[in-house]
Amino acid sequence: MREGTKTSPKTIIVDLAERSYPIHIGSGLLSGAGELLAQHIGAGRIVIITDETVASLHLTSLMSGLVGGQIETIILPPGEATKSFDVLQDVLDQLLRANFTRDDTLVAFGGGVIGDLTGFVASILKRGCNFVQIPTTLLAQVDSSVGGKTAINTPAGKNLVGQFYQPKCVLIDTDVLATLDDRHMRAGYAEVLKYALINDPGFWGWLDANAGAVLSRDETALRTAIATSCTAKAAIVKRDEFERGERALLNLGHTFAHALEAVARYSGSLLHGEAVSAGMLMAFEYSEILGLCASEDVEQLRTHLTQHKMTMLPGLPTKLKIDPGALLAFMERDKKNTRRDINLVLTRGIGKAFIHRAADKTSLLKFLKKACKS
């Protein structure tokens, strides 16, 4: 991939009436960030919130692209622990001490942790401030930076305190993925695959042929994968911004995944995308057991995941040592549930996901026992 080469970006609109915003996707966009963001940045200062890793790799490029005006930075430690009440309070204090006003703009420059935290800060600071997303991981580019979910974690679980709060713009520079390691590329790719598995068999066919090119960061393949993912997400968010129904489909595999992440104690040793790969396969396998999904579809997914080294689960105790009861207990706390029922995203095949309400806990536990042994 050529670093810093400017191409004309592809633009997708997230259509939410007065809260609509563009997603610009292309190579070399950081160096033209000032121009692309001009109409979305207020008259005042820009405060870039980022982490130490992204700052050391890409902050200079972004700063050079944001010519003019007063630019400040808040640089946080990398990792999930940054999405905490303590860091939230510290960032709010810093912004208030600097008299951040509603004319000013926050820039979330990083992966999902930075995007979720910055979005939440923007949503509550002075009852709502201007913010834009510049995601730097594949996972954040195809999922977390789009759609306005913001949150921090608490001891009770991941993302349990947060708001829906849309950015003014999302700027996706595919060049930044050159510095992302292969493991994080695969983790992000799980969320790309998710869109195909939900409702797009055509995209599944394309990914089955082009996953290798996406994972090796071929510029054209990446652009297609990211644009198709963002278009799919924008369409669902337009129809169900506040997740009253259809948007829950974007959680395919996530109820299983969040339970696996909880078992791994959110240690960072199991990446979210890695848990999502495993969780999507579990959703397919459980659907097969319920007689909803053909075994050929499950096998196709299993083969694809194996081919692209997406079936290993680092950070977990060996499967024999995972307590299926503990997994079920975590699944019972999922945000999609009602007081009594576990709601799951299941499937009738590739591209045919649906919301399955009130899952039968006995058969689910039986499945988890089998999955933990296999």
Backbone φ and ψ for 3, nearest 5 degrees, come out as: -75, 130
247 catalytic per annotation: yes
Cβ closer to ligand GLY: 147 or 188?
A: 147
For ligand GLY, which stretch binds (CB under 6 A), given 129-137, 142-150, 166-174, 178-186? 142-150
Nearer to ligand GLY, 143 or 274 (CB): 143
Q: Which of 45, 130, 153, 191 is catalytic?
A: 191
* Min CB(250)–ligand GLY separation in Å: 4
The one catalytic residue in 243, 274, 285, 288 is 243
Three-state SS annotation for the chain: CCCCCCCCCEEEEECCHHHCEEEEEECCCHHHHHHHHHHHCCCCCEEEEEEHHHHHHHHHHHHHHCCCCCEEEEEECCCHHHCCHHHHHHHHHHHHHCCCCCCCEEEEEECHHHHHHHHHHHHHHHHCCEEEEEECCHHHHHHHCCCCEEEEEECCEEEEEEEECCCCCEEEEHHHHHHCCHHHHHHHHHHHHHHHHHHCHHHHHHHHHHHHHHHCCCHHHHHHHHHHHHHHHHHHHHHCCCCCCHHHHHHCCHHHHHHHHHHCCCCCCCCHHHHHHHHHHHHHHHHHHCCCCCHHHHHHHHHHHHHCCCCCCCCCCCHHHCCHHHHHHHHCCCCCCCCCCCCEEEECCCCCEEEECCCCHHHHHHHHHHHHHC
Q: Does 173 bind ligand GLY (CB under 6 A)?
A: no
In whole angstroms, the minimum distance from the beta carbon of 143 to ligand GLY comes to 5
Our answer to whether residue 308 is catalytic in this structure is no
Binding mask 196-215 for ligand GLY (x = CB under 6 A): --------------------
The token pair that represents 92 in the structure block: 């709010």
Q: 135 vs 147, which CB is nearer to ligand GLY?
A: 147
Nearer to ligand GLY, 302 or 336 (CB): 336
If one asks whether residue 147 binds ligand GLY (CB under 6 A), the answer comes out as: yes
Neighbouring CB atoms inside 10 A of 272's CB total 25
Determine which residue in the list 250, 259, 346, 371 makes contact with ligand GLY, applying CB under 6 A. Answer: 250
How far is the C-alpha of 154 from the C-alpha of 164, rounded, in Å?
17
* Closest distance to ligand GLY from the beta carbon of 310 (Å): 18
Residue pair 140/111 in contact (Cβ under 8 Å)? The answer is yes
Contact segment (CB under 6 A) with ligand GLY among 23-31, 59-67, 73-81, 141-149 equals 141-149
Q: Which amino acid does the sequence have at 128?
A: G
Binding residue (CB under 6 A) for ligand GLY from 104, 143, 175, 261: 143
127 vs 244, beta carbon nearer ligand GLY: 244
Looking at 28-36, 55-63, 143-151, 203-211, which segment touches ligand GLY (CB under 6 A)? 143-151
| Total residues at interface with ligand GLY (CB under 6 A) | 5
State in Å, rounded, how far the first CA of the chain is from the last one. Answer: 40
Catalytic residue check, 3: no
The β-bridge partners of 106 are 47, 131
Catalytic, out of 168, 272, 304, 308: 272
Q: Which of 24, 45, 186, 254 is catalytic?
A: 254
* Binder of ligand GLY out of 149, 184, 272, 304 (CB under 6 A): 149
Catalytic residue among 58, 83, 149, 184: 149
Nearest approach, Cβ of 199 to ligand GLY (angstroms)? 14
Q: Under rule CB under 6 A, which residues in 229-248 are in contact with ligand GLY?
A: 247
Catalytic residue among 45, 186, 233, 304: 233
Q: Please, what is the minimum distance in Å from the beta carbon of residue 316 to ligand GLY? A: 22
Residues designated catalytic: 127, 149, 191, 233, 243, 247, 251, 254, 258, 272
Q: Which residues bind ligand GLY (CB under 6 A)?
A: 143, 147, 149, 247, 250
